[in-house]
Structure 1
Amino acid sequence: MAGTTRSLHPPDAFIDPAWGDKLTDSSGAMQRPCLLLARLNPAASRDDVSPTGPAPSGKTPMPTAYICEPGAAVKRLGRTLVVTKDNQTLADIEQVHLSQLVLVGRVALTTPAATSLLAAGIPTAFVSSRGRLVGRLVPPMSGAIEVRLGQFHVYTDPAQRLAWAKKIVTAKARSMLDVLVALRTGRGDARDAEAERAIADTVQHVIQAESLRALLGLEGAAAAAYWKALPRSNSSALTFAGRSRRPPRDEINAMLSFGYTLLAKEASATLEALGMDPYLGVYHEPRVNRPALALDVIEPYRHALVDRLVIRAANRGRFKPDDFTASEGRGPRFTPAALRRFLQTYERAALAPACGLPRHDRDDQSLSMRDHLRRRCERLATAFRKVNRSASGASRTDTNPGEQLDMAA
């Protein structure tokens, strides 16, 4: 292929934000970083991971590659993915070092490359430049049918479903409370204390909820208090007046929505690899094109990871109003340079030692948020499998929903 090749082979394939929006290749030419890869353990390879599943506990997960250069194309050359644009080779990625591929905006994927990714068990997500998940290209679903049967049993058993949903709402409320406390450091505002009390009250009342409808009401009250208080943590030049979406009305909400899309995409891929159906939830009702189970899983993490990183990045001046463009009726969107910077920020936060974790995850805070998310999905698969075995070999009254849930929440 014509042009200069800039090979990015792990473990040194992380584009550090300090390098700015351009990189110098071996010839001294400046190139834009169309490719972002998470930092990788030098000893790791795809041999450490199942072709259709996440890394086992204790293993470093392979990196996610984000291709975000408008007009670029991803092609296959042997077992290597080659990113090109205008007959220039921008980067190459060895598939052995890759866990998933994310194409952002106007990026093409050739049929040979797609076939090669599927054969290697590597999912591909297509995300719009505004952060909307357009679709996913995934390998065949795992044959772990007993996991999906257990998932269906929970969904159709009102008692078990309510017990599991209570744990989800409790973890979400605690996560919101932790984020508000972490972000208000040094600021004494009576309104903050009031919001924190309202969220804490939700945790106390969840146990008494007798239906999913009652849980929705409690979650709504906690969310209202949270989104009213969170804007007071924003000291940046970016606008933020509370949560808005479809479309997001301001820059902070645009970043939040994009981050939630990335997180839900990640959870969906992991759940599917472990044999679960990401569209059949426990707390979230199934709807067309709504990954309800993935939304259940990420509830405690969306605030601990995305909200925290967005507010802190904004307050540190990493994003400014001119990093966004606006169009009538569609809300703000990242400029190309800001989009790459946001993806870098997200990856750094996902791979850093986790903070603000749900209570059950605090046994090992040296692991990253991504590792903890994977563990949560693994526990969920184990719990669904046990539910199926209980339903097949014993009456459901012999099963304690709370005990099953402790492994999944």
Structure 2
Amino acid sequence: MEDLYVIEQGCTLKKLDQQILITKGGLKIDSIPVFKIDKILLFGNQQITSQALNLAFEYGVDVLFLSYTGKLKGKVSSINSKNIYLKLSQYEVWKDKLKRIDIAKKIVKAKIWNQYMLLKKYNISEMNLLEQMKKIDTAKDVENIMGYEGIASKIYFDNFKSLIPSNFVFDGRNRRPPKDEVNALLSLTYMLLLNKLISELDRSGLDGNIGFLHSIKYGRESLALDLIEPFRQYFCDSFVLKILRRKEIVIEDFEKREEGIFLTDTAFRKYISKFRTESTKIDEDIKEQVLQIRKYILGEGDFKPMMRK
């Protein structure tokens, strides 16, 4: 099964037998058997009929509503897990400081290792990253762990910028809004992958608002933010480097708007096509991570974040 991305503005999704029919102005654009769809992502100005929603729910297909630039605005799905005992176990693990620190350490160590391995792939051996990784073992609380993570990320991005094609300007990570083209791509890729994690956590019955590394905050999907950390380098940064270095996305594909720098409409379609193809390769990894954190919470197994080999 694959995610269905609807980008063409002004579309309507309808039910046609056991298929999702996509139309615009009364004309058919496409139709996809619902059993082939994992999630439906609607970007910008789209509509979906109640009949199509009911068909999606029948097959366990989530429907995500996003801004045109990929920010999640809302999500509808079939009835969430009623496993209250799982949620109670999650709250108990969160209240246990030692377990919370254990999960946080594993996540950040995996992230730093993936930073090291991505740079190594391009013949950069940054031993300072491994030093920060070792220091995490001695951390006494989540604040210390985040401090080492911040130092490691600074070291990592100082090296990462040397891998970017020379016609792009990249002086480190910035966001809200991104101030350059590379940061625009990174932010978009992180956001789309985060949407995948949010949906998978929802299906698992876990409470996405209760994280272990990221603090609890009203409306924040803290657990999804936890789990995406190792994937930032495991998938996202690697994907961005690939499309830039292969010139599949070029400097002319961006435009400056009042709210920041974004891909043009044509380039956005091109980007989404590439993201959809590449991200399906890690769908099983995402499911495995959610399954592992679920088992850890229930006391049925260990949690091992994704690490590059």
Structure 1 length-normalised TM:
0.71
- Supply the distance in 2 between the matched residues of 1:333 and 1:138 (Cα, whole angstroms): 30
Match of 1:134 in 2: 73
Verify: 1:372 aligned to 2:285, yes or no.
Answer: yes
- Supply the distance in 2 between the matched residues of 1:236 and 1:74 (Cα, whole angstroms): 43
Matches within 5 A, 1:108-147: 108-147=47-86
Q: Do 1:70 and 1:106's aligned partners in 2 also have CA atoms closer than 8 Å?
A: yes
Verify: 1:223 aligned to 2:153, yes or no.
Answer: yes
- Supply the distance in 1 between the matched residues of 2:263 and 2:235 (Cα, whole angstroms): 20
Give the superposed CA RMSD.
1.8
Higher CA-based Rg: 1
Q: Do 1:319 and 1:338's aligned partners in 2 also have CA atoms closer than 8 Å?
A: yes
Q: CA deviation at 1:385?
A: 1.6
Q: Do 2:295 and 2:302's aligned partners in 1 also have CA atoms closer than 8 Å?
A: no
Q: Counterpart amino acid of 1:370?
A: D
Q: Counterpart amino acid of 1:176?
A: Q
Q: Do 1:148 and 1:384's aligned partners in 2 also have CA atoms closer than 8 Å?
A: no
Q: CA deviation at 1:157?
A: 0.7
Deviations 1:157-184 (A, max 9, x none): 11111111111110111011111122x3
Deviations 1:61-101 (A, max 9, x none): x1111010012121222322111112211011111211111
Verify: 1:337 aligned to 2:266, yes or no.
Answer: yes
Deviations 1:36-67 (A, max 9, x none): xxxxxxxxxxxxxxxxxxxxxxxxxx111101
1:339/1:228 Cα in 2 relative to 1: closer, same or farther (>3 Å)?
A: same
Verify: 1:386 aligned to 2:302, yes or no.
Answer: no
Match of 1:44 in 2: none
Q: CA deviation at 1:277?
A: 1.0
Q: Do 2:211 and 2:224's aligned partners in 1 also have CA atoms closer than 8 Å?
A: yes
Match of 1:66 in 2: 5
Q: CA deviation at 1:246?
A: 0.6
Q: CA deviation at 1:125?
A: 1.3
Q: Structure 2 unaligned segments of length 5 or more: list them.
A: none
Match of 1:277 in 2: 207
Q: CA deviation at 1:143?
A: 2.1
- Supply the distance in 1 between the matched residues of 2:110 and 2:304 (Cα, whole angstroms): 14
Q: Structure 1 unaligned segments of length 5 or more: list them.
A: 1-61, 186-191, 352-367, 388-403
- Supply the distance in 2 between the matched residues of 1:140 and 1:170 (Cα, whole angstroms): 35
Q: What percent identity do the matched residue pairs reach? A: 27
Q: Counterpart amino acid of 1:109?
A: I
Match of 1:85 in 2: 24
- Supply the distance in 2 between the matched residues of 1:264 and 1:66 (Cα, whole angstroms): 15
Match of 2:192 in 1: 262
- Supply the distance in 2 between the matched residues of 1:344 and 1:247 (Cα, whole angstroms): 23
Structure 2 length-normalised TM:
0.93
- Supply the distance in 1 between the matched residues of 2:221 and 2:166 (Cα, whole angstroms): 33
SS at match of 1:126: strand
Verify: 1:167 aligned to 2:80, yes or no.
Answer: no
Q: Do 1:163 and 1:405's aligned partners in 2 also have CA atoms closer than 8 Å?
A: no
1:155/1:303 Cα in 2 relative to 1: closer, same or farther (>3 Å)?
A: same
SS at match of 1:73: strand
Matches within 5 A, 1:387-406: 405-406=302-303
Match of 1:346 in 2: 275
Q: Do 2:189 and 2:236's aligned partners in 1 also have CA atoms closer than 8 Å?
A: yes
Match of 1:204 in 2: 134
Q: CA deviation at 1:405?
A: 4.0
Residue 157 of structure 1, aligned match among 96, 104, 110: 96
